Amino acid sequence: VQVAESGGGVVQPGGSLRLSCATSGFTFSIYAMHWARQAPGKGLEWVSVILYGDGGDKYYGDSVKGRFTISRDNSKNTVYLQMERLRPDDTAVYYCARGSGYDLDSWGQGTLVTVSS
């Protein structure tokens, strides 16, 4: 199982960014995919999940609801996180993880998002 995030970087407050998570080594379409994040020196915070299939149900954490959108492309074995109206407190390492339902069983190494002017 391989999970690899990309797309992190520095963005100004109010800006947008799209993260990608490329996967391999498993049947992508039958698994849920999650995003979680970790602010510098802080604990883990769950961000979002998209369930299996083409039109998988999507759920979000309270702090990102209405600003972030998760999606998946089963033909590319990739999950995305579109982040809008970014705030300084969104600064974190963003992890993508395969989900056996709500168990995050394989994690990527993360990509750093810094929201700063």
Footprint of other proteins on this chain (CB under 8 A)?
Answer: 34, 36, 43-46, 49, 59-62, 95, 100-110
- Based on CB atoms, which residue is closest to other proteins, 15 or 71? 71
Residue 114 to residues 71, 94, 101, 109, Cα–Cα distance (Å): 22, 10, 29, 16
Q: In the complex with other proteins, which residue's Cβ is closer, 49 or 115?
A: 49
Question: Looking at beta carbons only, is 26 or 107 nearer to other proteins?
Answer: 107
3-class state of residue 40 by DSSP: coil
Q: Rounded to the nearest whole angstrom, what is the least distance from the CB of residue 108 to other proteins in the complex?
A: 6
The DSSP call for residue 52 is S
Q: Which is nearer to other proteins, 15 or 99 (CB)?
A: 99
> Would you call 26 helix, strand, or coil by DSSP?
coil
The alpha carbon of residue 70 and the mean position of all alpha carbons in its chain are separated, in whole angstroms, by 7
Least separation in angstroms between CB 45 and other proteins: 7
User: Are 110 and 5 contacting, i.e. CB atoms less than 8 angstroms apart?
Assistant: yes
